[in-house]
Amino acid sequence: MEKRVIYDKVRMPEICRTYVPVNLTERTMTERYNRVLSKMQELDLDTLVIYADREHGANFAYLTGFEPRFEEALLVLHGEGINYLVLGNENLKMAKYSRIQAEVVHAPHFSLPYQPMGDDKSLSGIMRDAGIYKAKKIGCAGWKMFTGTKENCREMFDIPAFIMDALKCANPYAEICNAAGIFVDSKSGVRNHVNANEIAHYEFGSGLASSRILQAMNAVAPGKTEMEIAEVLSPYGQPATVTTICAAGERFTDAVVFPRANKIELGDKLSLTLGLRGGLSSRAAYVAEKCEELPEDVRDYIEVLAVPYYEALAEWMEAVGIGASCAEIYERIETVLPKEKFHWALNPGHYTADDEWTASPFYPGTEVVLESGVILQADIIPSMQGYGGVSAEDGVVIADEELQGQMKSEYPEMWARMQRRKQFMKQELGIRLKDETFPMSDICGYLRPLILNHTYALKKII
């Protein structure tokens, strides 16, 4: 069979070392609010209750601009345009900075244990203060929509029971449904489509994460500890969207998931992952410069696992674009990298934004067709008994000519980076993205299966 991917000399990609955050504009925030109101009208919702906590705050922040620290919080939207922020003790000060106009309702129940509670009002009474009692139909949005077939997913909620109980007590006659799909439904979620300002906002995180992953790759050396390499993966105090990974050898020993004082050894398996708001970059490889340095039973790692994986990755990268069927892309990955042999279990790609994974349009039988304004992340994770992993996760954005024009005129530095990345992928890696598809990562498609060899990488034969 003719080779489609080879392990060969490849120039290292250029990374940006001067990333600067891009704030969301008032126009963007107004667009977001109007889109959510429109979805409420489509679903005939009188009220939308949006839940947040420290880990699950992206839907809340989509409208407020901030996520709660330490505590739970609610944003309550009413169809007539009156909104409420229900906040605990330590988030009250954030109300004046909110990007959406809302009246503040203090909920000491959301505060930390043994902080002043105040016993003048029950939580159900606080919910009444937020206008819950008026609604006939209430949508609740945590962070998760359920898509199983064995339960009534509209009546499954990921909001804490003490809050749901208070909502029902405040309005026992309302119809209450799970409305997280307003934000993350794979077909119609408002967070799945972005404008030029949002692309620039998210490209900061995606690009920064990718640049730090390459720096970490280049810093790996036998004798260094995971913690030393992980120090590179701490960029400017930016919040991570997933647990940062720097793991050599056997992972999860003693149930530890964070970087350890473990010394890296020649022939070790290696995993590196950094996710920031806007994108995640991840690499899995071996700590070696040549195959002879690998354990004897995995010296065929490149041929047996890395090359087939890269064929699938290149297939995915070249397939995504306007009008592409997500069901067909799923089937193409299954053809190139059969699940029965390579045991990948998750969706081969997903949407990304403030969360690392908002939802995935890539699943069997889906009717989703890709459109302009979506940010996607490749996420194919093969597994073969006895071998270490292989991974090159990165993101791309799809933009039609109008959106491209806005990106180019409003954010020329970002546009130049995207053009440079796209050319690198074509010239050095043989991956030809569609005209409307642009890399969000400095290292998109760049995979060194032997991490110590800085001059060789996988590439597609044109």
Strands (DSSP E) along 169-278, which ranges? 175-178, 245-248, 269-276
Contact 260, 226 (CB under 8 A): yes
φ, ψ (nearest 5 deg) of residue 206:
-65, -50
- Assess whether pLDDT exceeds 90 at residue 31: yes
Position with higher pLDDT, 207 vs 153: 207
Cα separation, 74 vs 54, whole angstroms: 12
| pLDDT band at 347; cut points 50, 70, 90 | very high
Average pLDDT of the residues in 121-145: 96
- Residues 6 or more apart whose CB falls under 8 angstroms from that of 312 comprise 333, 336, 337, 348, 380, 382
Average pLDDT of the residues in 341-363: 96
Cα separation, 440 vs 16, whole angstroms: 12
- Assess whether pLDDT exceeds 90 at residue 286: yes
- Which residue is associated with the tokens 């026992």? 172
| pLDDT band at 3; cut points 50, 70, 90 | low
Q: Which regions of the chain carry the CATH code 3.40.350.10?
A: 44-178
Average pLDDT of the residues in 120-129: 94
Average pLDDT of the residues in 127-134: 96
pLDDT tens track for 248-273? 999 999 999 999 999 999 999 999 99
Average pLDDT of the residues in 274-291: 98
pLDDT tens track for 182-228? 999 999 999 999 999 999 999 999 999 999 999 999 999 999 999 99
pTM (two decimals): 0.97
What pLDDT score does 117 carry? 82
* CATH class of the domain whose range is 5-22+191-460: alpha beta
| pLDDT band at 461; cut points 50, 70, 90 | very high
What pLDDT score does 316 carry? 98
Q: Which residue type is seen at 177?
A: C
Average pLDDT of the residues in 127-139: 97
Assigned token pair, 263: 């010394």
Q: What is the bridge-based pairing of β-strands 137-141 and 175-178?
A: parallel
| CATH number among 3.40.350.10, 3.10.450.50, 3.90.1170.40, 2.60.40.10, domain 44-178 | 3.40.350.10
pLDDT tens track for 397-456? 999 999 999 999 999 999 999 999 999 999 999 999 999 999 999 999 999 999 999 999
What pLDDT score does 118 carry? 76
Q: Which regions of the chain carry the CATH code 3.90.230.10?
A: 5-22+191-460
Cα separation, 221 vs 364, whole angstroms: 41
- Assess whether pLDDT exceeds 50 at residue 160: yes
Cα separation, 159 vs 140, whole angstroms: 8
- Assess whether pLDDT exceeds 60 at residue 177: yes
Neighbours of 426 (CB within 10 A): 14
Of 215, 231, 189, 146, the closest CA to residue 354 belongs to 189
Average pLDDT of the residues in 165-187: 97
Q: Which residue type is seen at 346?
A: L
- Assess whether pLDDT exceeds 50 at residue 1: no
Neighbours of 38 (CB within 10 A): 12
pLDDT tens track for 80-119? 999 999 999 999 999 999 999 999 999 999 999 999 887 7
What pLDDT score does 2 carry? 60
Instruction: Give me the chain's average pLDDT, please.
Output: 96
Contact 297, 261 (CB under 8 A): no
Contact 211, 441 (CB under 8 A): no
